[in-house]
Structure 1
Amino acid sequence: MSTNIRIKRICDFCLQEFTAKTTRTKYCSHKCNSRAYKAGQRQSKIEKSNAETARVITTDLDKLKQREFLSITQAGLLFGISRRTIYRLIDRGYINIAKFGTRTVIRKCDLEAFFAVPIVLQRLKAVQAFPGIENCYTIGQAQSEFNISPVALYHLLHRHGIMKYSIGKFTYVPKSELDVIFKAVAI
C-alpha cells in the first residue's frame, strides 16, 4: 500500500532538509542512515573503552587506599601530585621515608598528616580610611624621597601591610607609615 504523504523533515545526520514519505523517517538517504549508524557504533565503543579505563583507575586507587606503605609513584597517584613534588617534600624533611635497597617507601599516614593542614581563620584587617592626599606620598614621590627602587618599595609595602590607595592615575601611600619605617631604618 503506497501513501501520498509528503512531509518536510531535517536529516538527523547531515541536517539538510528533505521530503519524507512517512512520519518516522529520520534520514534523507541510505548513505546518511549508514553513516549515522557507524557513528553511533563508534561512539558506543569509545564510551565502553572510557568506562573500562575509569573502572581500572578507580580499582587501582581503591587498592592503594588499603595499603599502609606506598612507593613514590603510588603516593603520587593516590594524592594527585607529581613524583618530583614528593621528592622535594622528602628533601626538605617534611616526610619520613624508609629505604629497602633502592626502593623508597613512605607511610601513608605520614602523607595524610602532612596534607591535613589545620584550618586557621585569619582576621581580616579593617579597611583603613583614606587619610587624604596631603597626608600621602605618590609612589614616585616615595621613591625619590627615600631613594628606593620601585620593586623594593613594592616589597616593603607588601611586607609591612601598608595600604595603597589608587585615585585617578596616581597611587598614594600614607606618609606617616613610610616615615616610621624609614626613620627606624636610619637609626
Structure 2
Amino acid sequence: MQPLKNVEFLDTQKAAVLLGVSRSFIYHLINTGKLVAYNLSIRRTIILKGDIEQLFQSRTLMAPLPKKKVSKMPAINDCYNMGEIHERFKISDAAIYNLIKRNNIDKFQVGRFTYVAKKHIESILLNQI
C-alpha cells in the first residue's frame, strides 16, 4: 500500500488495491464514465491517481441504496407452497420459479417450504389458462 501513495499512474489492478475493490468494479466505473482511464495499448489501461481522488470529491459514487419494500407475510392458509402450485396448475418447478421472478412475486420461507400468496399466483396463472 505504501508504494502506491507515491505513484502518479495506476493500472486497474493497483487502482483496485488502492480503493479496496475488485478489478471488475474498476472497469465498471470506467465503462459508466465515473472514472477516466487511458488505454496505452490493447492490454494496458492506466488511471491517473488524481482522477481517483476527483471521483471522491465529486461524490458521484455515493447514492443512497433503494429501500426494498418489506411486505407482510400472509397467513399460511392464504398461500401455496411450490408443490401445491405444481399439482394444481401442472407446471414444472422451473416454470414456477421463473414466473415468480419475472412477476416480482414475494415468496416466504417457513421451515423447508417456500410459500407464495394464492392471490398473486392465481391472478397470473388463471388469466393465462
What is the TM-score with the length of structure 1 in the denominator?
Answer: 0.47
Match of 1:40 in 2: none
**Structure 1 residue 118: Cα displacement:** 0.9
Separation of aligned partners in 2, 1:169 and 1:140: 12
Q: Deviations over 1:42-70 (max 9, x none)?
A: xxxxxxxxxxxxxxx3x223224xx3x42
What is the TM-score with the length of structure 2 in the denominator?
Answer: 0.62
Separation of aligned partners in 2, 1:180 and 1:157: 12
Is the CA contact (8 Å cut-off) linking 2:105 and 2:120 kept in structure 1?
no
Q: CA separation of 1:77/1:115 partners in 2, compared to 1, >3 Å: closer, same or farther?
A: farther
Stretches of structure 2 that go unaligned for 5 or more consecutive residues are none
Match of 1:178 in 2: 121
Match of 1:75 in 2: 15
Structure showing greater Rg: 1
| Match for residue 93 of structure 1 among 27, 31, 34 | 31
Match of 1:161 in 2: 105
Root mean square deviation of aligned Cα: 3.7
Find out whether 1:119 has 2:59 as its counterpart.
no
Q: Which amino acid aligns with 1:174?
A: A
**Structure 1 residue 82: Cα displacement:** 4.7
Q: CA separation of 1:169/1:79 partners in 2, compared to 1, >3 Å: closer, same or farther?
A: closer
Separation of aligned partners in 2, 1:93 and 1:169: 42
Is the CA contact (8 Å cut-off) linking 1:165 and 1:173 kept in structure 2?
no
Separation of aligned partners in 1, 2:25 and 2:118: 46
Identical counterparts, % of pairs: 25
| Match for residue 104 of structure 1 among 45, 55, 63 | 45
Is the CA contact (8 Å cut-off) linking 1:72 and 1:86 kept in structure 2?
no
Q: CA separation of 1:82/1:174 partners in 2, compared to 1, >3 Å: closer, same or farther?
A: closer
Separation of aligned partners in 2, 1:110 and 1:88: 13
User: How many correspondences in the alignment?
Assistant: 121
